Amino acid sequence: MTSLSSKNGAGMIEFRGVNKWFGQLNVLRDITLSVEPREVVVVCGPSGSGKSTLIRCINGLETIRDGDLTVDGQRLGDPATNMTRLRTEIGFVFQSFNLYPHKTALENVTLAPIHVRKIPRTEAEKAGRELLAKVGLADKVDAYPAQLSGGQQQRVAIARCLGMRPKIMLFDEPTSALDPEMISEVLDVMVAVAEEGMTMMVVTHEMGFARKVAQRVVFMDAGAIVESGTPDEFFSNPKTDRSRAFLSKILRH
Amino acid sequence: MIWQQLQSIAGSYPLALRGLGMTVVLSLISLVLGTLLGFGLGILRTGGNRLISSAIGAWVDLIRGTPFLVQIFLIFFILPELGIELDAFTAGIIALTNLAACFICEIVVAGIRSVPTGQVEAALASGLSRWQRMRQVVLPQAMRIVLPPLVGQYVLLIKDSSVVSAIGLTDLTRVGWLVVQRVPNGLLVFFLVGLGYFIVCYPLIMLARRLEQRMGAAHGEVQI
């Protein structure tokens, strides 16, 4: 891979020929993908296709074996890249929420701003309350995660990411662990975040969300990007057998 | 008759108090130092450095796998051979602190490993440094697992402190040995020695039990 000058490229996230193995298993195959600032990309595909691994590489929760991955102009794995600092620019929403159970909703939101951004506590708490109000949880500020429903926990988790004022938000199947009636409250918050111009990569099977806010849908299978296009193209005219088979399964209901 | 025997022992009570004092002071200092050291070792052991981690593991196994009496003899009689002069009290503190640290290290490691990886990933993803992740996210959750066995371990260590009598420290156990040579009923003497240890340990046993019950609490910080 020649080192194309990443800083000149407009891509907020740039994969170039990225490969990753888990033992013998080639979980990411020759991934080349560029996500522009303010772009919303939905990643879908069958389970085990590598879509979670793909976005976990972006904030270094997984490391890549070869190829280039550049995020916000900084090359991952480069000794000059301060990974801890880069992570403060990238919000990550987990399938299982991963809120800190020993901290209240507000403390979950303010922890990183206070300790990483060094924002004074009173200021961080004010911003935290506003964020929790924004995700519809003004009355749950002092609740512990165990006292909240799944949908509420995931909204706190999104507020926790927004508290760092990130440039990029990554969502790893954010609604897969939720009861059906709670999915829309989380999707609504995600739509609002997207409409504010956040750069987002969202691993999800919520095709309604994809149609509404995504500029692009990326379909993965067996570790490779099989197809990529606008939601309209992808849903109405999937180009490959594998994407057609996948869509027929998830859109059947 | 028991009454007469008690009277014959009663004269030794200043010595007994001194012994009890020695046991308490020795245990207290060693437990405080051992807890600090044990947490440090536990945190290092679960850290990224494989060399440090396995070195600590090997030391902990060595200490856990040898009798405390042997360890205290080695420290008290071998270190002076290497030019490090120690009085019995310092040797006792070093031996007990080391023993406490090794057992506490294992308890802390188990606590840290009980925290779900998702918690560490969430802390990592929000840019917290290694120490911030440990201090803010991992340790508070690990404490729920750590506290009950930690206090239980204190009880064991207070009882283990009786071994320091072997290097001539006048703790409660040694007072027992001294008194028993002067009075006819040795059983009664050691009954009283046992009672002394029990009085020190029983509050801790109760505390450990309360902490275990609290583990069931669904949320919130652990408060002692």
For an interface test with A, which of B120, B126, B141 has the most A Cβ atoms less than 10 Å from its Cβ?
Answer: B126
Averaged pLDDT, B16-25: 89
Overall pTM > 0.90: no
Closest CA relative to residue A159, chosen from A179, A177, A178, A141:
A141
**Domain range holding B42?**
2-223
Q: Which of A197-201, B82-86, B124-128, B148-152 has the lowest mean pLDDT?
A: B82-86
Distance CA(B115)–CA(B123), nearest Å, equals: 12
Mean pLDDT of chain B: 88
Averaged pLDDT, A188-206: 95
pLDDT digits (tens, 9 = 90+) for B41-52: 999 999 878 999
Which is higher by pLDDT, A36 or B13? A36
pLDDT digits (tens, 9 = 90+) for B63-81: 999 999 999 999 898 888 8
Interface contact B119, partner A, CB < 8 A: yes
* Count of structural domains, chain B: 1
Whether residue B219 is predicted with pLDDT greater than 60 in this model: the reply is: no
CATH number for the domain spanning B30: value is 1.10.3720.10
Averaged pLDDT, A83-102: 95
Whether residue A96 is predicted with pLDDT greater than 90 in this model: the reply is: yes
pLDDT digits (tens, 9 = 90+) for B105-136: 999 999 999 999 999 999 999 999 999 999 99
Whether residue A19 is predicted with pLDDT greater than 90 in this model: the reply is: yes
Are the CB atoms for A98 and A145 separated by under 8 Å? no
| Nearest-Cα residue of chain B relative to residue A159 | B126
pLDDT recorded at residue B72: 92
Tell me which residue in A90, A115, A144 faces B136 most closely, judged by beta carbons. A115
Return the percentage of chain B with pLDDT > 70, whole number: 95
Distance CA(B46)–CA(A80), nearest Å, equals: 27
Tokens of B79: 């270190």
Mean pLDDT of chain A: 92
Averaged pLDDT, A60-65: 91
Distance CA(B122)–CA(B137), nearest Å, equals: 9
Name the band, by pLDDT with cuts 50, 70 and 90, for residue B171.
confident
What is the ipTM metric for this complex? 0.90
| Nearest-Cα residue of chain A relative to residue B128 | A116
